[in-house]
Every structure is written in structure tokens, then in C-alpha cells.
Structure 1
Amino acid sequence: MISNRSQSIPISTVPAVTQLAIECLTEDRGDDRRQRRTCCGCLESIFNWMPVIFIVGLIVYSYYVYVWHLCLQNMRNHSAIVLGVVLFWYHLLLLMFLWSYWSSMWAKVMPIPAEWSIPDADWTRLIRANGLEERRHILSHVARRLPITMCDQNGVVRYCGQCRLIKPDRAHHCRICQRCILKMDHHCPWVNNCVHFHNYKFFLLFLIYASLYCLYVLVTLLLELHHAWGFDFDNVDLNSLQTMIPIVLAMIFTGATMIMLGLHIYLLLLNRTTMESAHAPMFCVGGRTRKAFNLGCCANLCEVFGDRWYLWPLPVYSSRGDGLTFPLREGSISSASSADF
């Protein structure tokens, strides 16, 4: 005789099954989050590269109109020497423009050395600190051997909570790059990179050559328009429209790049970053001032372009210093020590 025994799940296995189900659901949700983050990261990356794609598209369009339409089609009645000179200077400016643009875009953001990092034990004490004085004491201890002169508005050593390090003078955290940047000027969408200590020279040359390139295109287009049509707009045809559009674009971008260039030359001669121009830096000795790094026009110029004048026109690294410490104007402020905080 066969007995009918009910098949049931032992009670002891219920928690294990429940835990397994929870882990499966959690894993699925984690995968969904990772997929969403990946998707958002791709969209953000595409969005960040859009200004660069726009600039490259304009360069390709201007090259087609200038070289093919203007020089090889409309300037055939000029002598070969004139045409050769026009094309030579055009391609030289274009080459320097693209070289400096590429250097600004792909210049490596150098990491801040490990000795500026806050040790784990000090970091734990810092996040648990109660009050300003306790934080001041902890940070002063961590930064006691570091060459810093700047502090925050409370007179406390500057530090980054995301990178967990003491900020060197003139360094700031970039929310787009998600890291601390040495001598950060600003994050430029047109190069999809921060303008910082190691590429500021490249960025200045990019503005210089972009301005010269746009101005050269504008002037030669206007001269050819005057030569071909004498500015008689009653006889405008398709060919002249193909020249007028680049003229308008050249006017817009010549004005924009020259304004930017003028601003940064002004800041260069004062040895001041865009961020320091907007918000005067705070020093542990001397208080808030924008003049501490101003060494004089010539010295300020050499700080960025270096001591070898023959390298100034080239987008190759030649700046003075290491981006961690900077010479101060004589008599402006004194170097800090941990006792000053």
C-alpha cells in the first residue's frame, strides 16, 4: 500500500529562497541602473563633442569655399604667383590654427601628485569633525609640509571633498572633467577640455591663429569680391552668394575670436585666470587680492610662453614651473605655513 505524502517546502528553506529572489531583483535593478548610466554617459559625451564637430564642419566648409570656389575657380584670371602666395599663407595659417586647436583639445590633464592626497585616517576625522576649528586643525596638520599660500574664505586650507586632496594654489575642481585641475582657467566647450596650466599656451595660440585665419579669409574674400563685382549688389548671382556667405561667417567669427583673444591677452599680462578675474583669490597672509601673481608684463608673458622665444609661436609645451607653486609679487604676501591657518 502506497501512502500519499504531501510535497511541501521546508520552512528552513524559505529565507534562502526569499534572499535569492531579492538578490535577483537587486541585480536586475543594478543592471538597469548601469545601462541607464551608460546611455546617459554616451549622450553626454555626444553633447560635449557637438561644439567641436561644429567648428570642424565650419573649417571643412570654409576650406571648400575658399580653396575650390574662390581660388581655383574665380581667381583663375590672376597670375600663378598671386594665386600661389594667397594659397601659401592660407594653408600656413590653417595649419597653425589646426595644430594649436588639436593641442588645446588633447593636452593631458596632469594628475596632482600623491603627496597632496588626504590620508584615509585624516579624511575620516575630517568628515566627522564638528566645527570650523576642528577642520582647521586637521587640514593644517595634513598640509603642514605643502607649499600653499591660498586658503578659503574662512582662512582654512583649501581641499577637495570629491578628489580627497589638498588643493594646490590656483587649482580648482572641474565638475565636467570630474577632477581637480592645476591652474584652472575655465572649461571650454569649443575644445571639450579644461583650459589649465599645461595647455593655456596652446589655447592662447589657438585664439591667435583662429583670429588671424578668420581675418585673412575675410580680407581676401572682400578683395576678391571687390575685384570681381565691385560691390555692385544689383548683379548678385549664385557665385557671388557662395562668396557672401563665407564673408558673413568670417565677420562673425573674426569678431568673436578677437574679443576672446583681447580678453585673454589682458588676463595674460596681469597673470590672472578667468576664475581669478571673476573671484579674487584668498590668501592666508594678505587677505583677498587679484594682484599677488602679477610679476609685471614681461615676466607674466614668460610664465606662460617660457624663456625660449623661438618656441613662442609653436603649440609645444614651454611654460615655466610645475603648476603646483607660483612665484608671488614681491612684497604682496608671504608664503604660508601650517601655523598661519
Structure 2
Amino acid sequence: MHMYFEEHSPRQGPVGSLRQRLRLLLLWLIAIDGDEDLLLKYKNYIPMSSMTNYIFFFGGRVRTLRGRRQLSLGVLFIIVVPAVLFSIFETHPIWLHNQGYKSLVVLFYYFWCLTLAMFLMAATSDPGCLPRNLHVPQVSRNFQVPQEYYNIVNLPSIRQDIPIQMKYCRTCRIWRPPRASHCSTCGCCVIVHDHHCVWINNCVGQRNYRFFITFLSSAVMTCILLIANCGTHLHRTDNGSHGTPVSVLLIIWGGLSICYPATLLSYHIAMTGTQQTTREYLVQIGSKNPVMHRIRSNAQNVFDTRQFFKNMFLLMAQVRGPKLMNPRESHPSGDWRFMKLP
């Protein structure tokens, strides 16, 4: 940190240098709306916080959205509280049983740690944001978008009867790659954009889709193991012993908590089996709500291999790829990717 400040801070007097370092330290801790004096001089997360709706923490290592309901904190509460109660009231009596129940405790903590880690990764990592201003037309005309850019470009594919379509994003000023889409909530285009999830306060795209699926899977397993452990405690407890009300509470907690992630996981398994993202599926059915709609293959989907498990593997295990907009990197002065064009 000290070497970074020494390298990038302008030569000023002691007071000015101290103020500059304090400003950089605060921006390193939390960057909101950037800083007009530092937008084009330092790390990428400074201008990115002005160009998108993201807040960056710890030098761009962690991100979240500003100005939204923080439902992700409620999800974090649902994850942490039962583990705390389980550790205080349940772990010790179950561990003392000499009939192989220790493995249930170990498995519960393993899947709970996996659930927490994958939730944090899905919620705070880069979903696959694309850089801006790569295809800027008519600079001499105040960056006006020509009429032909409003058209859809059809690219050839392996299925000659079904082309791959590309669209121009007038907000980000780029030709979006196939399956990419602009998220107005995040304020950027996301590659292989599935949907914007309010529960993690982030988009689900190519770079964090596997984190999201693993989070749902491990959450379901954690709830099942929570119910199994507490049920074992109730079964092995004498009638006169104390502490069983917490077991009942955690069983109810696990039974209620498993409903949503299990439903969402089943939905995404069906979606990936047909090689569709949520956004593509909603466009296909012409609705903003997938509930009460049957999930079926799209005959116009060029990415569909017509094999359920192959489709599921290709979409869930797709390569994350590099960060196309790395907040922790630096950029030269005048880089158009970090400019606000009229």
C-alpha cells in the first residue's frame, strides 16, 4: 500500500501529500461514484464506480450494488443464525453419541462452509462485465449512434438455418457478444447473462454462474443435514432432558429454508438441460415471470445440443474466462473504456 501511494501520488507538500494519501486510502476501502480528480489516474475501480452501479471495497476485490434493498443481508442472516444455534446447542450432544453420528456433524459443517463461501463469491465477484466504448461510431457528430446500429446482425453458425444474433448496446457503446445482455440494475453488459438476482444483489453471468449453482446445491444439502442432525438429537434424547426446543426450532428452520433454493435449483437444472439462460427463456415465452410456464427446448436455440446432460454440463461447467474489466488493474490516461461519452 505504501509503495503504491509513493509511486502514484503527485509531489506535493507534507499536508497536500497526506490529504492525497488519505483520499486514496478511503477510495481503497470503499469507492462510491469515483472521484473526479482521480478518475483517469489510478486503479480501474475508481472510474468503474462512477460508470456502473457497483460499490467497490478493498481496492476492487469485493463489489456490491448501491441504492438497492439489501436482501442479501437477509440471506446471510438465514445462513449464519442456524449454524450458530447448532454449534451452541446441538453439536456437543450429537458428537457424544458413539453410533457414527459424528459424520453427520462433519458433513453439516462442510456443506455449511461451502454454502457461505459460494454465496459470498456469487454476491461479490464479477459476473462477467464487459468493457464500454469499444465500438464508438461518428466521433465527429458528438458520438451519435447511426441508424444502422439499431439493427440486429446475423452471424453464420453451425446450423445454417439458425443464425447467431448480435445487438448493439447504445448505453455501453459496444456490439454485445452472443448471449450477452445489458443489466440496467448493475449498469453494465454481462457476458452469458442469466438474470439479475435480488437475493445476492448481483447479476448471474458466465463468471459467477457456477458459484450460484453450487450455492443452491450446498444450501439444499445443508438444510437436509441440519434436519437430520436435529432429528437424531431428538430421537436420542431422554424425555427428561433439556435443550430439545432448539432442535425443534432448527428442524422447522431447515424445513422452511430448503423450499426456495430447492425450487430454484430444480428450475436451473431444467433450464441448463435445454441450454437456455433465464433471459433467453423469458424472451421465448414472452413473459417476465417464469412461474406457471412449462420449460421446453427452443427450436431456434443454436446452442442446444439436444442432449440434456451435455447441455447441463456445458452451461454449468463453462469456462469462467478472464476478467474483461478488472477493477484492480490500472489504465492509461485517455482510455475510452473509462470515459463518459455524451
Query: Normalization by structure 2: what TM-score?
Result: 0.61
SS state at 2:253 partner? helix
Q: How many correspondences in the alignment?
A: 250
- Aligned residue in 1 for 2:332: none
- Aligned residue in 2 for 1:54: 74
Matching residue within 258, 262, 268 for 2:266: 262
Tell me, in whole angstroms, the C-alpha distance in 2 between the residues paired with 1:78 and 1:123.
Answer: 78
| Shift in Å, 1:300 | 1.6
Q: Does 1:121 align with 2:139?
A: yes
Tell me, in whole angstroms, the C-alpha distance in 1 between the residues paired with 2:156 and 2:322.
Answer: 14
- Aligned residue in 2 for 1:291: 301
Tell me, in whole angstroms, the C-alpha distance in 2 between the residues paired with 1:275 and 1:149.
Answer: 18
Matching residue within 247, 251, 257 for 1:253: 257
Q: What amino acid is aligned across from residue 185 of structure 1 in structure 2?
A: D
Q: Percent identity?
A: 20
SS state at 1:197 partner? coil
Tell me, in whole angstroms, the C-alpha distance in 2 between the residues paired with 1:86 and 1:319.
Answer: 33
- Aligned residue in 1 for 2:33: none
Indicate the larger mover: 241-250 or 221-230. 221-230
Deviations 1:314-339 (A, max 9, x none): xxxx6277899xxxxxxxxxxxxxxx
| Shift in Å, 1:268 | 0.9
Q: Does 1:90 align with 2:108?
A: yes
- Aligned residue in 1 for 2:16: none
| Shift in Å, 1:263 | 0.2
Matches within 5 A, 1:1-341: 48=68, 50-72=70-92, 74-75=93-94, 78-79=97-98, 82=100, 84-112=102-130, 117-121=135-139, 127=145, 135-136=147-148, 138=149, 149-151=163-165, 158-228=167-237, 239-280=243-284, 289=299, 291-295=301-305, 296-306=307-317, 319=319
| Shift in Å, 1:97 | 1.4
Q: What amino acid is aligned across from residue 75 of structure 1 in structure 2?
A: I
SS state at 2:182 partner? strand
Q: What amino acid is aligned across from residue 51 of structure 1 in structure 2?
A: L
Q: What amino acid is aligned across from residue 297 of structure 1 in structure 2?
A: F
| Shift in Å, 1:145 | 9.2
| Shift in Å, 1:143 | 6.5
Structure 2, unaligned runs of 5 or more:
1-49, 56-63, 287-297, 325-342
C-alpha contact (below 8 Å) 2:118/2:215 kept by paired residues: yes
Tell me, in whole angstroms, the C-alpha distance in 1 between the residues paired with 2:144 and 2:121.
Answer: 39
Deviations 1:90-117 (A, max 9, x none): 1111122122222212221434356852
Q: What amino acid is aligned across from residue 226 of structure 1 in structure 2?
A: H
C-alpha distance 145-294 of structure 1, shift in aligned 2 (>3 A): closer
SS state at 2:243 partner? helix
Tell me, in whole angstroms, the C-alpha distance in 2 between the residues paired with 1:77 and 1:46.
Answer: 47
RMSD: 4.0
Deviations 1:289-325 (A, max 9, x none): 553321122432332344xxxxxxxxxxx6277899x
C-alpha distance 56-123 of structure 1, shift in aligned 2 (>3 A): farther
C-alpha contact (below 8 Å) 1:187/1:195 kept by paired residues: yes
Q: What amino acid is aligned across from residue 112 of structure 1 in structure 2?
A: L
**The structure with more helix, counted as a fraction of residues:** 1
Tell me, in whole angstroms, the C-alpha distance in 2 between the residues paired with 1:123 and 1:143.
Answer: 23
C-alpha contact (below 8 Å) 2:220/2:261 kept by paired residues: yes
Tell me, in whole angstroms, the C-alpha distance in 2 between the residues paired with 1:251 and 1:226.
Answer: 17
